A = this chain, B = another copy of it.
Amino acid sequence: MGDSGFKNCQVLITGGLGFIGSNLAHRLVLLGAQVTIVDNLFPTQGGCQANIRGIEDKVRVNISDIRNQQSLEHLVRGVEFIFNLAGQTSHLDSMRDPMTDLDLNCAAQLALLEVCRRHNPDCKIVYASTRQIYGRPAYLPVDEKHLLHPVDVNGVNKMAGEAYHLVYHEVYGLRATALRLTNTFGPRMRVKDARQTFLGIWMRLALQGLPFEVWGGAQLRDFTFVDDAVDAFLLAAATPEADGQVFNIAGEPVVSLTELAEMLAGATGQNYVVREFPPERLRIDIGDYHADDSAFRALTGWAPKVPLAEGLERTLAYYRDNLGDYL
């Protein structure tokens, strides 16, 4: 099925007021899907009412927590696709308060999967996993055969969250696919702080006329513009052969943080400072990372379309107009 396959489809997006979830909602509304968003608006996560500006009347927003199986049952029944983006993303928060991270990334995922197998076993679920679960790469680019060595509690719990999806596929036949996302950026990302990605806070500071801080600088990374990530979610949903599988989603080109900082400085006219890693970040930093996503490309034909520089420009343009909603 192509994009047209989502027309009139019942779709549920967990974490749908968040960064990637809300971008998915915008796209799915365009494609004619019937979108329900569930989000707990947890203050340290990405959920934000401004993220659905323009589609407020075209989506159903349900403010609740997917740990609550009772409310979830009603939301899951009759849905054809679940884009499962609810979760906690902050590495530092997970070390400060590991139990809350466990709750949001493990208990909530188990609750959702239990409700699906009992009340909607035929729906397709695409789970937002993360490169973070690989930990420090043993080789580059990292493919899906790389061992998982998460370096923080958030990584452990995201690893478990992904693994539950595969178990529920194997044992109950749930149609689950997991995408291990690399650094994703774009309009509607959290820029208040570094909880989603350091690039958010870089952009916010640059737009506020303040120097942003580069920690280290030599680390290699790849970046996915959010529209390309949305394409990947839709393709994963529409590809039955992806059921029960896990795929890397990477970005191109691979750049060092200093190169990225140069691009952002060039685009904003704002300077940056390079700093030593703060010790509590250094212990959970993973060094260089970039991924091999050839398996997903080969299966689905996906390829990123938005060059890094263009993605940065489009993101900056969004926040020039909307920064006040994200502070």
Interface set of A (CB-CB < 8 Å, partner B):
95, 98-99, 102, 106-107, 110-111, 114, 145, 147-153, 155-157, 159-160, 163-164, 166-167, 170-171, 283-284
Contacts and interface: CB of A to CB of B under 8 A. Distances in A.
A157 B160 contact: yes
Contacts of A147: 145, 147-148
Contacts of A155: 163, 167
A279 to B, nearest CB: 11
A167 B145 contact: no
A173 to B, nearest CB: 10
A92 to B, nearest CB: 11
A95 B153 CA distance: 24
Grouping DSSP codes into helix (H, G, I), strand (E, B) and loop, the A interface class, with mixed when no group exceeds half, is helix
Pairs A-B, 7 closest by C-beta atoms: A156-B163, A160-B160, A98-B110, A171-B283, A156-B160, A156-B164, A150-B163
Contacts of A107: 99, 102
B171 A163 contact: no
B153 A110 contact: yes
B110 A170 contact: no
A150 B145 CA distance: 15
Contacts of A151: 167, 170-171
A119 to B, nearest CB: 16
A110 B102 contact: yes
Contacts of A156: 160, 163-164, 167
A163 B105 CA distance: 15
Nearest to A152: B167
A214 B38 CA distance: 47
Contacts of A150: 163, 167
